[in-house]
Amino acid sequence: MDSEQGLPLPQRYWAIAVVALGITLAVLDGAIANVALPTIARNLNATPADSIWVVNAYQLTITISLLPLASLGDRIGYRRVYMAGLALFTLSSFACALSGSLVALTIARVVQGFGAAGIMSVNTALVRIIYPPEHLGRGISINATVVAISSVIGPTVASGVLAVAPWPWLFAINVPIGLAAFAIGWKSMPRTPGHRQPYDYISAIMNALFFGIAIVTVDGIGHGEHRPYLIGEIIATVVIGYFFVRRQLTQSAPLLPVDLLRIPVFALSVGTSVCSFCAQMLAFVSLPFLLQDHFGMSQVETGFLMTPWPLVIVFVAPISGVLADRYPAGLLGGIGLAILTVGLVLLATVGAHPGAFDISWRMAVCGLGFGLFQSPNNRQMLASAPRHRSGGASGMLGTARLTGQTLGAALVALIFGIAPQQGGVVALALAAAFAAAAAVVSMLRLTGKRGVEAA
């Protein structure tokens, strides 16, 4: 097989199906756990505050391990990391289903987070191997579509399962799907060469400490943590970050891809991603409070009214993927993020007594803009990196997304702490500002060359 031209048919279809199944499991599991938290807390005799660790342990583990596993993929091959992550995720899902205490469940969720990180860290790098360069945008759009679909059906799946079975089945259903994906992937996933350079374990530890403490610090700022603790956490983040980056500058294939960040179009794509996902999370976290507390909507109504955003992405992402193979990502991303900005402004100024249609079509406008931006931006981020650094680019793609989402969630908490009555509107206005900034950053990619798609 010519690795430059993608996998032959029908192997390409089987391989992308495995990638899609893995992403579905990882994203869906994060979504359904949120819905099931009250049920899990009651069943395990845990307080609501303690039960939050069922979600936090999973998300935190993914964040601190994405870049180390992406770097490992560059070294030993993306197939090995992905398949190991899929196997670990499947086994840990079984352990989650068998957990009889909150501690056991939290530990299993930590292991599950490492498995999910194995899947997420190299999935886009694998797409680059699976698809030929001229169809890369279409392959990238599949990931965006799968994530959107998983976001849409996550709460529904959780509610449906809990209506007929106890909460352990939320994790148990992953097992047969994971086993099927592993069996198919064993035959269809492409084998990629690695390199023999020793793995940088010190950088992996520094990465985990830096991102772990940074996330705790940002969350602490949002939730009004005591000032002495915050100051200590900020100092620790800065000191570890300084030595971490300094070490990366001496590496030929750094774990934190500072070499890729020297490529202007890659750095601008990362900036666009961070700002846009911050805008998305500002909206997603604040909208339920606005709809329920300010407009008097029920939980069911809120769920339906927020559905148009991800639902439109399901239809727009494949189209934007095709467009990304023909037109500059800076232009498509700029247009999409400008539309998102307009949608967020319209939501922030919807009025005092909006109807369901007033909210729904504004949500659809946001989904249109976000769906138009996402695939082209991810495609350019991946394609602007040298082929042998696809793992680093893939890991950075996921890290940029999680960084933006973490910052957005923390900003919502901070806003509601300062202005609880107007928090929803203020958060949407700030989301529009971040989306507008992302549009500007995206357009900056048009000032130079479109970017050489590295071999």
- 95-104: average pLDDT: 90
* Percent of the chain scoring above 70 in pLDDT: 94
Q: pLDDT-based confidence at 452, cuts 50/70/90?
A: very low
**Does 245 or 162 have the greater pLDDT score?**
245
* Percent of the chain scoring above 90 in pLDDT: 27
Using CA atoms, how far residue 293 sits from 284, 286, 344, 420, in Å, is 15, 11, 19, 10
pLDDT at 2: 45
pLDDT at 222: 65
- In the predicted model, is pLDDT for residue 389 greater than 70? yes
Which pairs count as long-range contacts for 192-197, CB under 8 Å and 24+ apart, including other chains?
Answer: 192/3, 192/77, 192/78, 192/79, 192/129, 193/77, 194/73, 194/74, 194/75, 194/76, 194/77, 195/74, 195/75, 195/253, 195/388, 197/75, 197/252, 197/253
- In the predicted model, is pLDDT for residue 10 greater than 80? yes
- In the predicted model, is pLDDT for residue 87 greater than 90? yes
pLDDT at 299: 66
Locate 203 and state its tokens: 């950088």
For 202-219, the pLDDT digits (tens) are 888 998 898 888 888 877
Helices (H) and strands (E) in the chain, counts: 18, 0
Q: pLDDT-based confidence at 305, cuts 50/70/90?
A: confident
Q: How many residues does the chain have?
A: 455
**Does 274 or 356 have the greater pLDDT score?**
274
Are the beta carbons of 383 and 453 closer than 8 angstroms? yes
Q: pLDDT-based confidence at 34, cuts 50/70/90?
A: low
Q: pLDDT-based confidence at 392, cuts 50/70/90?
A: confident
Q: Among residues 358, 341, 310, which one has the least CA distance to residue 429? A: 341
Are the beta carbons of 377 and 442 closer than 8 angstroms? yes
pLDDT at 152: 65
pLDDT at 112: 94
pLDDT at 309: 87
pLDDT at 436: 96
Task: Report the alpha-carbon distance of residue 67 to residue 399 in Å, rounded.
Answer: 7
DSSP 8-class letter at 291 = I
For 405-423, the pLDDT digits (tens) are 878 877 887 888 787 778 8
DSSP 8-class letter at 1 = -
Are the beta carbons of 434 and 423 closer than 8 angstroms? no
- In the predicted model, is pLDDT for residue 78 greater than 90? no
Backbone angles phi, psi at 262, to 5 degrees: -75, -15
Are the beta carbons of 370 and 343 closer than 8 angstroms? no
pLDDT at 178: 92
For 319-345, the pLDDT digits (tens) are 888 888 888 888 999 999 999 999 999
**Does 58 or 455 have the greater pLDDT score?**
58
Q: pLDDT-based confidence at 390, cuts 50/70/90?
A: confident
**Does 4 or 276 have the greater pLDDT score?**
276
Burial class of 438 by CB neighbour count within 10 A (0 to 12, 13 to 18, 19+): buried
Which residues touch 447 (CB under 8 Å, ≥6 apart)? none
